[in-house]
A and B are shown apart, each in its own frame.
Chain A
Amino acid sequence: MKLNQLLSILLFSVFLTSCEKYLDVEPFDTVSDENTIFDKASAETAVRGAYRSLASSNYGSAFQGAVLQSGGDIRSLNNAQSDLNVINYDLRSDIGFLSTLWSNFYNTINRANHVIEKVPQIEDVKLNSGLKNQLIGEAYVIRALSYFDLARLFGNVQVFLTPTKIVSDRLGVKQKTQAQVFDQVVADLDTAISLLPDDVVRNRSRRSTALALRSRVYLYQQKYAEAEADANTVLSNQQYRLMKPFALAAGTPESILELAYSVDAVNAGYALWNTSNRALEPKASVHNLLNDAEVGGGRKLLSVANNAGQFIGGIFPTNTASNYVIRTAELYLIRAEARVQKAEPDFEGAISDVNAVRARAGVANSSASTKQDILVSIENERRVEFALEPFRWFDLVRTGRAAAMLNATNPQKYIFPIPASEIIADPSLVQNPGY
């Protein structure tokens, strides 16, 4: 038995000492939570990570598919059951893409929150205050944009301004109303405007980007004078102007914020429209408008009929083409609407903004002169100008025209239901009325 004991003692002593080391295996291709944002390089990479999510998640195919189909001018070629739910304005809370949308926005928000919380604490000589402010400001814009879209889609959502550390922090937090969320969005943009530099970078956010977005939010808040003022500031910069003839805006002065893609992170929108395998098609109604020389003009390139009689949406020429978030033309049309609606209306200024957009598409000036006519001409202009961008549904809901134009008569359906899976995960979430 002596040998037995000896052996076992030997075995156990040798292995026990080395065991803990043996079991400590560091990951190869991810880094652990403790050392993430701590110097200039890591601050820059974290901001890029937030942009990636903004580009690939927020504005992925789920968002575009749902909002474009809701707008009534685009149809799905998949004929999926959830598409029928969308076009009939009859969503149920357990339809899968809702939770995808919901989680995507919060994923981006969490990334932005990490930057907003951690970058100010970095002490690195290489990170000068200008760059530091820029990175923080960009994160504020990303967060603002995400909350804005979240509230446009779902109405009543929770607002979190710090990164997630443990799950329980996120449970049982009361939802804010859409108006309250918009206020938070404006607050974030105010901060961003104070932090961001004045140069022009079209695929990242700068001062003008934040101003342009705030101008859009003011329009939703019906703060027309403020909307006009922000639009004026942006459009006074000659780097943001309309270019004739009409062409896709990527990389030109027509682009205020465009999101970038690469072969490793492709634009999901491309697959929606691409010719051999497409999921979406412009309906004949909008195709005919775009191809009407008196309405679409140069914008006919957005919908091209092929030999088989199919309408091909032409917004993303390749799968790495940029995705537009804010274009110069939108600022003109925001200002036009603001000028009509503000306390002391400026119809002339409004119609000149509309005509600026029309002129660069090669379309004759609008003949509208009354308030009502100008508003309709703005609505029609937005319909063709943003035919393949997710605008029309939000526009018609915002202006109260969804019932008239889309036969969507139940206002409760103007916001999507809170995803059922989210209510299961956090039972304190309150479902939107009507669902």
Chain B
Amino acid sequence: MKKYIINSFLILLLAAPSIAHAQSPQKENPPHINSILTGKVVDGKTQLPLEGAVVKIKGTTHEVLVDNKGDFNFKTGQIYPYTLVVSYVGYETVEVTANENSIRIALSTQPKQLDEVVMVGYGSQNRKSVVGAITKVNAQETKHFPVASFDAQLQGKAAGVQINTFSGTPGESVRVQVRGTASINASNDPLYVIDGVLVNNNSLATIDLGSKKTSPLADINPADIESIEVLKDASAIAIYGSRGSNGVILVTTKRGEYNSPRTKYNLDISQGWQKADPGRLWKLTTGAEHATIVNEQWVNSGLDRPSLNQTYANRPFRPVNEVINGVAGRGNPGEQQTYDRLDRVFRTAQIKNYDFNVLGGSEKVRYNIGAGYSNQEGILQPARFERASAKFNFDAKLSSRIVFSSSNGIYRSFRQQVRGGAGQQAGHLLAALHHPTYLPLYNADGTAARGSIYENIDNLTNTDITNISTKSLRYIGSQYIEVDLMPGLKFKSSVGLDYNNYNESEFFNDQTIIGGAPNPPGYRNDVLTTLSVFQADQLLSYNKKLNGNHTITALLGNSLQSTNVSITSAKGQGFPNNSFKQIAAASVRTSSQNQSKSTIASFFGRINYNLSNKYFFEASLRADGSSKFGANNKWGYFPAAGFSWRAKQEDFLQDVKWVSDLKIRGSVGLAGNQNGINDYASRGLWTGNVQYPDNLTSGPRAGIAPWQLENPDLKWERTTTYNLGLDLGLSNNAIFINLDAYYKNTKDALLFLPVPGSTGYGSTLSNAGEVSNKGIELGISTTNIKSQAFEWTTSFNISRNVNRAEKLLTPITFEAREYRRTEEGAALGSYWLYKQLSVDPQTGNAIFDDLNKDGKLTQADRQLMGNLLPDYFGGLTNDVTYKGVELNVLFTYQFGNEVFNFNKYILEGGGTRDASRSILASQLDRWQKPGDLTNTPRVTSVGNNYNIEQNSRYLEDASFVRLKAVTLGYTLPATLTARAGIKKLSLYVQGTNLLIATKYTGADPESSGSATQNLDGLDTATPPQPIGLQVGARVSF
């Protein structure tokens, strides 16, 4: 209270000149006016005028609006002193006593937990009345982070939402998991709903990107987004029925305001630079070290297995003039050069971003018109992501009872792509990283050398030689009409469309492996994919306040959605020369086309009952019918119920001053999952793509073959979620705590059951598992210091999820190499490895855990070790503002997860890969002589030292704490900028991924993801998330 008085005093002092100035006109007042009050309403932090704030004299109906300079004035019959009530959306309402004729009122922003509007499925609710577990993220806080898609910007911001960016290449896929992994083979991605449209979140990439996928959400311009809500518990997600069980992310785009006093123009410009942290990039052996290791391995192997005929005399790195069996030596190790390829593929990348929007509205119309352009280079050459977008949101009150609303976003994005992964023809990064360092880049005649199985790195970074790119055109929009049928009853009819036009092109000229001899010269492959999601919703909503304390809200609706995918591809090989790049010029041309469709029909309803603003009850039910599922199980029913109790409203807590808010929430319900399942998964199918000739001259003729076994019983995964939550505000909400505990039980999990190969089928999709997730999420936000000029707030969240395969008919292993395995009773995401205990100091041989004590190392000795899912994860944000200066610091972290460093397994192969792959510098720690204490065994191709792929030696702790972003912003004083006609001018500088603390030896502990589900957890080497610096300006006028 004392602080407040001091502050008010300060404000009065500051306002003194205007008080003096305002005195003279008072004398001309007509007699019936007892007082004339002029004043100013400003934001307490920024001191900027708050246009549109409402000032009301308490106890009267007299109110005025604040104008665009922040000024207001009353001519009133009231006599001083009287009380003013000042309110403004998003700010705390204050009451101020007016004693004299000039006053300056500073409003402070409202703690967001209190009265904010929260989007829920098919509607919105006031935070007070929310029953479910819903996290709201203010997009303004994150939109400047230099990543392409908004989901990647949310890391560390929302409790219970684990977000990992696999790669430092902009526009590539991001893993988002809400409350753990419930599904083994169906997708674990949440459902994304943008302005009511259930949009496509599956990458449309079809060309070989080496297990990388593009992010479909990168199409959407983060600057268009007003807020993001993450729906987590049953009462929030069950209304989305068969698609809600992985959580729902609701995205609301910006809209104008009715009766907006003026049109607002905002311009955002930024420029950034990014580079890989040199301290974290891989360290490779020099040419000489590489040769030494290979020779050592050669000789050791020869000793271990004499029939290999490998001796010191015929070692590969021997003097050039020693020709054995017609093969010359490669030169002694000391003669080998070292060629740095990483340096040629990584660069300092530039990022440019421009966003412009116009917001406004009259009594009957409101609008938001936006345009954006973003150009982000990847640190890995030649990757680039470019997006141009246009946004048009428009609402009109057609009559007093009919509202028309239109939301439209058009996005054009271009990706210059890089391939990931291993393999002979793949990998921009691996062509640099895995190429042995002793092999030269160019042959003596100046042509590009390809000593290893990889492409020459300069052939990949030059887009005239290798060019992989994608153009995506996307429209997401919805239109609706809402009619007030009678008081409290509204009918809304909407149509939504998500249209994706995805055009991929890859070209390799005759200098490359793919397009070079002996293949026909040149290779081009173009694929056009169109995906359209069409959605039609009909909603009836009813809101009725019954005699005082009872309020009922009801919703009844129907939704039809169909998804159509069509893929057309054309391929050409054998071009006249490198100037010809169109498929029409190719001598060999092939093409393909296919199409797929699925439909969902739904009915749903929800009832909310509010008793005295203290007790809230909610019940909902959705029925979904899906074309994907078996004839016996087309329809699924998803009920949910929840309650909340605002205990603070009870009399017994009214006097407990230190508890400023207390709410208890609980819910239970059922939701489903069908994402990631083939459109015709339940059917028995034969394929037609198996031609064969009838004789030597007939040429290929059409053939058919069995493709998929029928499963008429196939149905949804069903997840039952129990949630108990607590919202607690302490000492006037200076401390606000959200605590949620949940238990999710997934039954009928969709599994690709490993059917015996003897059936002729690889695997069949069945409902045959049970998975549980239980966890706790804690979010704490505190206002540490708050004065008129200075404010320091902290928000912290931590989540813990424990997951377990409760029922599984047979263990399921993933990927051909079977690094991961899911067993009944164990956590999903466990690794299945041979455990290397130590390296025998005497022999240098790796000692493995012989689990069944049979003296042999067999598959029976493999064990579940570690997990790719963290024990704890979350984020910590600190926000300090002082007058116009704002400092924001974000840390993200996760603990207790492991990554299989597959890249290390390949590059620490003890020299057995000879000239095929480079060798990591860490290989130099190998055992060399009796007595050596090391974890890296003696190098040899014989025995188990380097022949066990699933060796626990490569499993590493991937916990980390990352200084994700530091943002320093400054808003110039309004008095200064006003002269230039500028309402607000902010400048900021932001550093991203500045520091990371981790024990992980690969480049980035987050780079273990894969676009292919269930290959997560293997780090096959991807460009790390870069260190970035960006500067930007935001101008409003």
Q: Which residues of A are interface residues toward B (Cβ below 8 A)?
A: 3-4, 7-8, 11-12, 15, 19-20, 22-25, 27-34, 36, 42, 44-53, 55, 77-79, 81-82, 84-85, 88, 90, 92-94, 96-97, 99-100, 102-103, 106-111, 114, 158, 160, 163-164, 166-167, 170-171, 173, 201-204, 251, 260, 262-265, 274-277, 279, 284, 288, 305, 309, 318-319, 407, 419-422, 424-427, 429, 435
B269 smallest CB distance to A (angstroms) = 47
Query: Which of A28, A264, A422, A427 is close to B757, meaning CB atoms less than 8 Å apart?
Result: A422
Q: Which residues of B contact A421 (CB under 8 A)?
A: 754, 757, 813, 818
Having A84-B947, A96-B818, A106-B758, one finds 4 other A-B pairs with CB under 8 Å, namely: A25-B627, A28-B596, A55-B692, A167-B764
Cα separation A326 to B599 with both chains bound (whole Å): 51
* CB <8 Å contact, A111 and B516: no
**Interface 0/1 of B670-710, CB less than 8 Å to A:** 00000000011001111111111111100111111111111
The yes or no answer to B425 lying at the interface (CB within 8 A) is: yes
Name which residue of chain A comes closest to B542, CB basis. A4
A420→B859 contact, CB < 8 A: yes
Decide if B601 touches A22 in the complex (CB within 8 Å). Answer: yes
From A4, A77, A79, contact of B540 by CB (8 A): A4
Task: Determine whether the beta carbon of B916 is less than 8 Å from that of A79.
Answer: yes
| Count class of interface residues, chain B | 35 or more
> How long is the Cα–Cα vector from A421 to B913 in the complex, in angstroms?
27
Q: Is the CB of B810 within 8 A of A425?
A: yes
Chain B residues 590-642 with CB under 8 Å of chain A are 590, 594-601, 603, 625-627, 634
B653 interfacial contact with A, CB 8 Å: no
For the complex, is B912 an interface residue (Cβ under 8 Å from A)?
yes
Residues of chain B at the chain A interface (Cβ within 8 Å): 305, 307, 325-328, 424-425, 450, 453, 485-486, 489, 491, 513, 516-519, 538, 540, 542, 556, 558, 560, 562, 588, 590, 594-601, 603, 625-627, 634, 679-680, 683-696, 699-710, 753-762, 764, 810-811, 813, 816-818, 857-859, 862, 909, 912-914, 916-917, 941-942, 946-950
Residues of B within 8 A of A276 (CB): 450, 513, 516-519
Q: How far is the CB of A303 from chain B (nearest CB, A)?
A: 12
The reply to whether A265 and B700 form a contact with Cβ atoms under 8 Å apart is: yes
Please determine whether A31 and B813 come into contact, CB atoms closer than 8 angstroms: no
Which residues of A have CB within 8 Å of B513? 276-277
The 8 Å CB contact of A164, one of B556, B692, B760, is: B760
Q: How far is the CB of B150 from chain A (nearest CB, A)?
A: 32
A96 x B816 contact (CB < 8 A): yes
Q: How far is the CA of A20 from the CA of B817 in the complex (A)?
A: 43
19 A-B pairs whose Cβ atoms sit less than 8 Å apart in the complex: A19-B625, A20-B625, A22-B562, A28-B595, A30-B687, A45-B704, A81-B949, A88-B941, A88-B947, A93-B859, A96-B818, A103-B760, A106-B757, A201-B694, A202-B696, A203-B696, A276-B518, A288-B325, A420-B859
Given A202-B696, A276-B513; A33-B756 close (CB under 8 Å): no
Residue of B595, B693, B708, B949 touching A29 (CB-CB under 8 A): B595
Q: Is the Cβ of A114 less than 8 Å from the Cβ of B558?
A: no
Complex Cα gap A42–B914 (Å): 51
Q: How far is the CB of B512 from chain A (nearest CB, A)?
A: 9
The answer to whether A28 and B597 touch (CB under 8 A), given A204-B694, A262-B700, is yes
- Which 9 residue pairs of A and B lie closest in terms of their CB atoms, listed nearest first? A110-B760, A33-B684, A48-B703, A96-B816, A103-B757, A49-B705, A48-B692, A49-B703, A52-B690
User: Are A110 and B759 in contact, CB atoms less than 8 angstroms apart?
Assistant: yes
Q: Is the interface of B mostly helix, strand, loop or mixed?
A: loop
CB neighbours (8 Å) of A47 from chain B are: 703
Determine the distance from Cα of A94 to Cα of B542 in the docked complex, in whole angstroms: 61
A429 partner residues in chain B, CB cutoff 8 A: 756
The answer to whether A424 and B811 touch (CB under 8 A), given A25-B599, A265-B691, A277-B453, is: yes
Closest chain A residue to B710, Cβ basis: A33
Q: Which residues of A contact B562 (CB under 8 A)?
A: 22
In the complex, the answer to whether A277 meets B949 with C-beta atoms within 8 Å is no
Tell me the nearest residue of chain B to A96, going by C-beta.
B816
Q: Which residues of A contact B625 (CB under 8 A)?
A: 19-20, 23
CB distance from B625 to the nearest CB of A (A): 5
Closest-by-CB residue of A relative to B815 is A96
Beta-carbon nearest neighbor of A56 in chain B: B690
Whether the pair A435, B858 counts as a contact (CB closer than 8 A) is: yes
Are B424 and A419 closer than 8 Å at their CB atoms? no
A94 touches B692 (CB 8 A): no
- A305: chain B residues at CB < 8 Å are 326
User: Contact between B540 and A46 (Cβ–Cβ < 8 Å)?
Assistant: no
Q: CB distance B489 to A4 under 8 Å?
A: yes
Give the contacting residue for A99; candidates B598, B685, B700, B757; CB below 8 A.
B757
Hey, which chain A residues are within 8 Å of B708, CB to CB? 30
> Which of B707, B709, B755, B759 has a CB less than 8 Å from the CB of A30?
B707
Q: Is the CB of A260 within 8 A of B693?
A: yes
Residues of A within 8 A of B595 (CB): 28-29
Minimum C-beta distance from A269 to chain B (A):
14
Contact with B680, one of A27, A201, A263 (Cβ below 8 angstroms):
A27
- Residue numbers in A under 8 Å from B685 (CB-CB): 27, 30-33
Q: Which of A24, A109, A264 contacts B700 (CB 8 A)?
A: A264
Q: Are B705 and A111 in contact (CB under 8 A)?
A: yes
Q: How far is the CB of A288 from chain B (nearest CB, A)?
A: 8
Which of B486, B701, B817, B941 sits near A48, CB closer than 8 Å? B701
Q: Once the chains bind, are B862 and A94 in contact (CB under 8 Å)?
A: yes
Is there an interface contact between B597 and A25, defined as CB atoms closer than 8 Å?
Answer: yes
Contact between A425 and B754 (Cβ–Cβ < 8 Å)?
A: yes
Partner of A106, one of B690, B760, B817, B857: B760
**How distant is the Cα of A245 from the Cα of B485 in the complex, in angstroms?**
93
For B760, the chain A residues whose CB sits under 8 A away are 103, 106-111, 163-164
Chain B residues near A318 (CB-CB < 8 A): 518
Query: Chain B residues with Cβ under 8 A from A20's Cβ?
Result: 625, 634
Alpha-carbon gap, A264 to B590, bound state (A): 8
**Residue on A nearest B699 in the bound complex, by CB:** A262
Q: Return chain B residues, CB-CB under 8 Å to A45.
A: 688, 701-704
Query: Given that A4-B485, A30-B687, A50-B705 are contacting pairs, would A309 and B759 also be in contact in the complex, using a CB cutoff of 8 Å?
Result: no
Distance in angstroms between the alpha carbons of A79 and B946 in the assembled complex: 12
Q: How far is the CA of A142 from the CA of B727 in the complex (A)?
A: 69
With both chains docked as a complex, state the minimum distance between the C-beta of A55 and any C-beta of chain B, in angstroms: 7
Asked whether A425 and B601 contact (CB < 8 A) given A8-B556, A309-B326, the answer is: no
CB of A417, distance to nearest CB on chain B (Å): 9
Q: Is B680 a contact of A30 with CB atoms below 8 Å?
A: yes
How near does chain B come to A129, taking the closest CB pair, in angstroms?
18
Q: Which residues of A contact B947 (CB under 8 A)?
A: 81, 84-85, 88, 90
Report the minimum CB–CB distance from A38 to chain B (whole Å).
11
A425 with B453: in contact, given A33-B686, A166-B709 (CB under 8 Å)? no
- Expressed in whole angstroms, the minimum distance between the Cβ of A342 and any Cβ of chain B is 34
Residue of B nearest to A406 (CB): B307
- Is B913 touching A79 in the complex (CB atoms < 8 A)? yes
> How many Å from the CB of B531 to the closest CB on chain A?
14
Partner of B816, one of A8, A50, A100, A279: A100
If A36-B704, A203-B696, A277-B425 touch, whether A92 touches B858 (CB-CB below 8 Å) is yes
Find out whether the CB atom of B757 lies under 8 angstroms from the CB atom of A275.
Answer: no
CA distance A45 to B700 in the complex (A): 11
Which of B600, B760, B917 has the most chain A CB within a 10 Å cutoff?
Answer: B760
B760 nearest CB across to chain A (Å) = 3
Do B813 and A424 touch (CB < 8 A)? yes
A187 to B243, CA, bound (A): 53
Are B817 and A3 in contact, with the CB atoms below 8 A? no
* A24 with B627: CB separation less than 8 A: yes
Say which residue of B307, B603, B686, B757 sits within 8 Å of A12 (CB atoms): B603
Q: How far is the CA of A306 from the CA of B757 in the complex (A)?
A: 42
Q: How far is the CA of A28 from the CA of B679 in the complex (A)?
A: 11
CA distance A350 to B244 in the complex (A): 74
> In the docked arrangement, what's the CA distance between A61 and B797, Å?
51
Asked whether, in the complex, the Cβ of B590 is within 8 Å of the Cβ of A204, the reply is: no
Known: A7-B491, A23-B627, A106-B760. A425 touches B755 (CB 8 A): yes
Q: Which residues of B contact A100 (CB under 8 A)?
A: 816
